Structure formats: structure tokens, C-alpha cells
């Protein structure tokens, strides 16, 4: 089926399927979010269908009868595309398009489409293109007709291309399959090189002995606003999903005098496509290597706990589930839920990244949590090694200091590197 380049907003019908143990309310909420994704991608929702099934239909996901109903509804509302909230197999997608007479895509296509629009850096564009190709290559079989020319769709033309078609500029994807596979191989090699460069940069920062803190959270939770508030980073902030794809790293001074490296990350979402997690794995490595995660939560969201669970699921997928986490309930300027939720979760904080309320409390808590990760050791330093005493003061927090007959006894909180450096002076 030919995807026609349009100069107007596409008309979209949404489809959600209630399959146990999901409840209708769960699927309705997911469809609400899908509607926001479609709007962010640049299209309008003109219809919405909810179906109950015991299990997905192998051929069409919704069953042939429901697919025919969707065809009739699409004619009635003059829709261009039908978007399914759950991922479709290549065969289901092809079968549906035959029955519907129009494009059938899923939530993954919409998210990939948004990422294609928002990627700005060389690395971001390569990551998105790789995810797009990994998703689309299995779907080429059986598409004998040419897809419309998409050259430059990652750039200026992206706003005009239909949802699900943005991405690498390719025509005749079926007969160009081998060329696309070569493109995947090249992108993987390019990203591998960028990964090595990024790791070298992180090792350099690690040698500076600065702790690393990463901002994580659901998309549009306010991470970029918080980064600006904390570091004057000047990051563009937009009230839209996935406005930030490219990671940013800044230095942050804490109230106790310590400096940390603070990184912003791409927002997560329920049903985040596995292809994107894999493609962005090199970018997300910084999360797994952090000393502390500040998990920014949108307190004004319909179900903040569901968003927390979705973020933690992605953290587990990238191997960051064991990194210490500080929940920061944001948007206290527009809802009292932030304070209430923080009160129910010991050790968490509430704040407004926009107004600045609660920022000092956040910084103090970050400092406390990082210091709690350090080891408290006792040192006995000979009097003639005043340089060591000075170095301990520089590199850690001296809790007590006393002069004894054989030297200076210090109790100090040090990170692992510091503790190892002064190990020869450690006493039990």
C-alpha cells in the first residue's frame, strides 16, 4: 500500500483491546496516552474503539468481524490511518491493511515517528534510524508496491510525512532489503564507535572523583525543567512528549560543597518499544553507571504510580534496577498531590521545577544520599604526613579529628577510591 505524503493533519482511529488480566479502565487510560502521542506526532483522533477478547486473534489481532467494523467506521469518519494500542505482528499488519483499505500501524510506530521528528544530534538521529529499520525490516515481506519517497524525512520534510512513515529516506523497501541491512550494519558500527567515545568521556569524569547523578522519569515529567533550574543549562523545554532525546550533562554544586555530574535522559513511557531501548542503550549506559537516580514523577498525572512502575520496568531492562533511587514528586505548584505522595513515600521529596519550591530540600537530600553511599573509615596518620591529613579533608568528609601520641586520628567518610588511596593508614 502506498503511503501518500500529506500536507494536512492525518485523521486517526484508535483501537484498544481488553485482554485479561487488563481491565477496561486500564486500556482506556492507555488509549488516552496514545491519543496524546498521536497529537504529538501531528495528527487528529477522529474515532476510538474498545474491544474485549480472551486472547489476540493470530491473523488480525481483533478478529475479522471487528476488522470489518473498523473498515466501516473508517469510511464513516474519513480516517487515513488506524492505530492499534498494542504491537502488531507483520502478518497482522498486512492482513488488517487489506481489510481496512488504509494504513494500519501500532503504538510502536507512533513513538518511533515522534522520535524521528525530535532527534537533533548525529547520535540521536542514528539511534532513531536504527530503531526504525529494526522495526520495519520484518514488515517488508509481502509489500510489493513501492512506498512513497521519504528522502529527507528525518529533516525538513518530516512534518509532512504520514505517521509511521517518517525515518530513513528509502524507496522500494522490499527490493532494497539487502541495502537496508547494510545500512543497519553501518549504523550499528557508527554507534559502537560513539559508545566507545562516550565511555572514554565517562572514565575521564570518573577520574575527576565526581559522583554522578542521573535524572530519570516518565516523558514530560519535568526533567529538562529541573535540569535548567539546577544548573542554568538553558535546555529548550516544551510541553510535549519526548521533547528531549539527546542526553545533556552538567556540573552541579551541592549545599555541602560537593560537586556532582548531573545528566538528563530521554523520558520513558509504558510499552516503550524494545527497538528504541536497544538503539539508545549506549546513551542509557550513563544511567546504569550512576551513583544515584533522581526519579522525577509528574504528580499531576492521572496515575503517578503507574508511571513510576513503567520507568522502573525500563530501568530493569537496561540493568539499572539496583542503582539507588530518590523519588522527586514534581509539579507542586499546580497540585497538592506532590506533597501528599512524598509524605506517603519515606525518603522522597516534593518540589516544583518551574517555581523553585522544594529545590533546596532536593539538593540537601541528594547530598545526604550520596554521603550515605560513602564508607566511614578510621585513619591514624603520622605527624610528619600532614599532606595526607590535608588530602583526606579535600577528598572526603572528616567527621572527627584528634591528636594522639603517635599521630592524628581521623574518622572520615570517603568514596571507594578515597578509601583505597588511604588504606595504608586505616586502623580498626
| Cβ burial, residue 358 (10 Å; 0-12/13-18/19+) | buried
H helices of 9-106, where?
A: 24-41, 64-77, 90-100
Cell of 426: 586505616
Tell me which H or E stretch contains 248. Answer: strand 248-253
Q: Contact 215/296 with Cβ under 8 angstroms?
A: yes
| Cα separations in angstroms, 198 against 47, 202, 227, 247, 259 | 45, 6, 20, 11, 21
Cell of 29: 487510560
- Lowest-pLDDT range, 70-84, 200-214, 413-427? 200-214
Question: Which whole number is the average pLDDT over 229-255?
Answer: 73
- 383-395: pLDDT as tens digits: 999 999 999 988 8
| Cα separations in angstroms, 375 against 315, 370, 411 | 26, 11, 10
| Cα separations in angstroms, 312 against 200, 287, 316, 366 | 27, 12, 6, 19
List Cβ<8 Å contacts ≥24 apart for 229-233: 229/353, 229/354, 229/356, 229/359, 230/262, 230/359, 230/363, 231/262, 233/264
| Cβ burial, residue 359 (10 Å; 0-12/13-18/19+) | middle
Cell of 182: 547494510
Q: In sequence order, which residues have a C-beta less than 8 Å from that of residue 95 and are 6 or more positions away?
A: 59, 60, 67
Structure confidence at residue 3 as a pLDDT band (50, 70, 90)? very low
Structure confidence at residue 37 as a pLDDT band (50, 70, 90)? very high
| Cβ burial, residue 36 (10 Å; 0-12/13-18/19+) | middle
Reply yes or no on whether the pLDDT at 103 is more than 80: yes
Q: Give the pLDDT confidence score for residue 149 in this predicted structure.
A: 37
- 208-229: pLDDT as tens digits: 557 899 999 998 899 989 998 9
Reply yes or no on whether the pLDDT at 422 is more than 60: yes
Q: Contact 134/279 with Cβ under 8 angstroms?
A: yes
Question: Which whole number is the average pLDDT over 285-300?
Answer: 93
Residues counted in the chain:
428
Of 347, 278, 349, the closest CA to residue 319 belongs to: 278
CA triplet 315, 319, 325: central angle to 5 degrees? Answer: 50
Structure confidence at residue 78 as a pLDDT band (50, 70, 90)? very high
Q: Give the pLDDT confidence score for residue 237 in this predicted structure.
A: 58
Domains belonging to the chain, first-starting first, are: 10-110 (3.40.50.11060), 119-188 (no CATH), 208-371 (3.40.50.300), 374-427 (3.30.70)
Structure confidence at residue 373 as a pLDDT band (50, 70, 90)? confident
- 112-142: pLDDT as tens digits: 888 888 777 788 888 889 888 888 888 776 5
Tell me which H or E stretch contains 216. Answer: strand 211-217
pTM of the model as a whole:
0.78
Reply yes or no on whether the pLDDT at 1 is more than 60: no
- Lowest-pLDDT range, 72-81, 281-290, 328-337? 281-290
Average pLDDT of the chain to the nearest whole number: 85
H helices of 232-329, where?
A: 274-279, 281-288, 304-317
Amino acid at each position: 500500500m502506498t503511503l501518500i505524503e500529506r500536507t494536512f493533519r492525518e485523521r486517526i482511529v484508535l483501537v484498544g483491546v481488553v485482554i485479561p488480566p487488563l481491565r477496561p479502565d486500564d486500556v482506556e487510560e492507555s488509549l488516552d496516552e496514545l491519543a496524546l502521542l498521536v497529537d504529538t506526532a501531528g495528527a487528529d483522533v477522529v474515532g476510538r474503539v474498545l474491544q474485549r477478547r480472551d486472547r489476540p486473534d493470530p491473523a488480525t489481532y481483533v478478529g475479522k468481524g471487528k476488522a470489518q467494523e473498523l473498515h466501516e467506521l473508517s469510511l464513516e469518519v474519513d480516517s487515513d490511518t488506524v492505530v492499534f494500542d498494542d504491537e502488531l505482528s507483520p502478518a497482522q499488519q498486512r492482513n488488517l491493511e487489506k481489510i481496512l483499505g488504509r494504513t494500519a500501524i501500532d503504538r510502536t510506530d507512533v513513538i518511533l515517528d515522534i522520535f524521528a521528528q525530535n532527534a537533533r544530534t548525529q547520535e540521536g538521529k542514528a539511534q532513531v534510524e536504527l530503531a526504525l529499520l529494526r522495526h520495519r525490516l520484518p514488515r517488508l515481506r509481502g509489500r510489493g508496491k513501492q512506498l512513497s519517497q521519504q528522502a529527507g524525512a528525518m529533516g525538513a520534510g518530516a512534518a509532512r510525512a504520514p505517521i509511521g512513515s517518517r525515518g530513513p529516506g528509502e524507496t522500494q523497501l522490499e527490493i532494497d532489503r539487502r541495502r537496508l541491512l547494510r545500512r543497519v550494519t553501518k549504523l550499528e558500527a557508527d554507534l559502537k564507535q560513539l559508545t566507545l567515545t562516550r565511555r572514554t568521556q565517562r572514565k575521564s569524569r570518573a577520574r575527576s572523583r565526581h559522583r554522578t547523578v542521573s535524572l530519570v522519569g516518565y516523558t514530560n515529567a519535568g526533567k529538562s525543567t529541573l535540569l535548567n533550574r539546577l544548573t542554568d543549562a538553558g535546555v529548550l523545554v516544551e510541553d510535549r512528549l519526548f521533547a528531549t532525546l539527546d542526553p545533556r550533562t552538567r556540573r552541579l554544586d551541592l549545599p555541602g560543597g560537593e560537586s556532582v555530574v548531573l545528566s538528563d535522559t530521554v523520558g520513558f513511557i509504558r510499552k516503550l518499544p524494545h527497538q528504541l531501548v536497544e538503539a539508545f542503550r549506549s546513551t542509557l549506559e550513563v544511567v546504569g553507571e550512576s551513583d544515584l537516580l533522581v526519579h522525577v514523577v509528574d504528580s499531576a498525572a492521572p496515575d503517578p504510580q503507574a508511571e513510576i512502575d513503567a520507568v522502573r520496568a525500563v530501568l530493569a531492562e537496561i540493568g539499572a534496577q539496583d542503582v539507588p533511587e530518590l523519588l522527586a514528586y514534581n509539579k507542586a505548584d499546580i497540585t497538592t498531590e506532590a506533597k501528599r505522595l512524598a509524605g506517603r513515600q519515606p525518603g522522597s521529596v516534593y518540589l516544583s521545577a518551574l517555581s523553585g519550591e522544594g529545590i533546596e530540600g532536593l539538593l540537601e537530600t541528594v547530598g545526604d544520599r550520596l554521603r550515605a553511599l560513602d564508607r566511614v573509615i578510621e585513619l591514624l596518620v603520622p605527624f610528619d604526613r600532614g599532606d595526607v591529613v590535608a588530602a583526606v579533608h579535600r577528598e572526603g568528609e572528616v567527621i572527627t579529628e584528634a591528636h594522639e601520641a603517635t599521630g592524628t586520628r581521623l574518622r572520615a567518610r570517603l568514596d571507594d577510591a578515597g578509601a583505597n588511596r588511604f588504606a595504608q593508614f586505616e586502623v580498626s
